[in-house]
Amino acid sequence: MKKDYIRLVISDLHIGSHNSKEEQILELLQTVEFDELILAGDIIDFIKVPTFTKMTAKIFSYLSKLDKKITYIIGNHDISFASFTGQRLLNIEFTNHCEFVYGEKKYRIVHGHEFDSGLVHWPVFMNFVSIIQDWLERTFAWKLASWWVDRRLKKRKLRRIWDILKWNKDADVFIMGHTHVPEVVIWVDENQKIKTYVNCGDWESHMTYVIIKDNELRLKKFKPSQPKPLGREEQQSESPSESNSKPRQGILDKPSHR
């Protein structure tokens, strides 16, 4: 029996930013089984003022030694890699999109900023805004990116999912990131073909990812290993953390199609 080919898709890690979950990212890469890693954009947050740590070095070191295919789709926050498009650096292939056929279905993966409009396409202005955003996040521990996406969605300034899918109707499964909103939409088109839209979410608020295996696609929330119990003094000084990990649409950890 032929071994299944497993793909892991993650986006919007924003490594170097204040809210990036670097320790959990490394744990995901070390514990989830996959044959190919697809990084769907905004992996490194170059347009802010990135701060790299020892954990950042561990992630880069792990990826550089990984004897598996790594596809890096360039997003708007790591647009600095644009000149690498079509090239290979160590074991990483840089591209603007990724397409493949699996289980008789055509998959297309992009970052998603291509379908946005407005200031996201003004690089100088966005760099200026991002520097201010970075300072505010580090100073006040705010998650301004999540707040901004919520605000834009409420005002419907982002193109609707259906508009995006209209331009990608030749794909059976369309996967993107960019909006930081983990969700799945499944429908039957006019030709009675099952179509699927998936957003990977992000690794600042949700820690979600997509796994493609066994002829299924799953949107999952990563559950990091439990830390060791704290001592009494540590428990007294430990403040409760807040969680904002509910997806807006779709069901996590359930297969989206066969």
Beta-carbon-side half-sphere exposure of residue 166 (alpha carbons within 13 Å)? 6
Residue 108 pLDDT:
98
- Prediction pTM value: 0.76
Residue 166 pLDDT:
84
Q: Is residue 250 part of a domain?
A: no
Q: How confident is the model at residue 126 (pLDDT cuts 50, 70, 90)?
A: low
Q: Is residue 231 part of a domain?
A: yes
Residue 256 has pLDDT above 60, yes or no: no
Residue 8 pLDDT:
98
Q: DSSP letter at 255?
A: B
Inter-residue contact 183 to 250 (CB < 8 Å): yes
Inter-residue contact 79 to 46 (CB < 8 Å): yes
> Structure tokens of 130?
């991002």
Beta bridge partners of 254: none
pLDDT tens, position by position, 162-188: 888 888 999 999 999 998 999 999 999
**What CATH number corresponds to the domain at position 123?**
3.60.21.10
Q: What are phi and psi of 203, to 5 degrees?
A: -120, 35
Inter-residue contact 56 to 16 (CB < 8 Å): yes
Q: Is residue 175 part of a domain?
A: yes
The number of folded domains in the chain is: 1
Its domain, for residue 45, covers 7-237
Task: Decide: residue 223, CB within 10 A, 0-12 exposed, 13-18 middle, 19+ buried.
Answer: exposed
Q: Is residue 254 part of a domain?
A: no
| Helices 144-154 and 123-140, axial angle in degrees (round to 10) | 120
What is the arithmetic mean of pLDDT over 103-130? Answer: 73
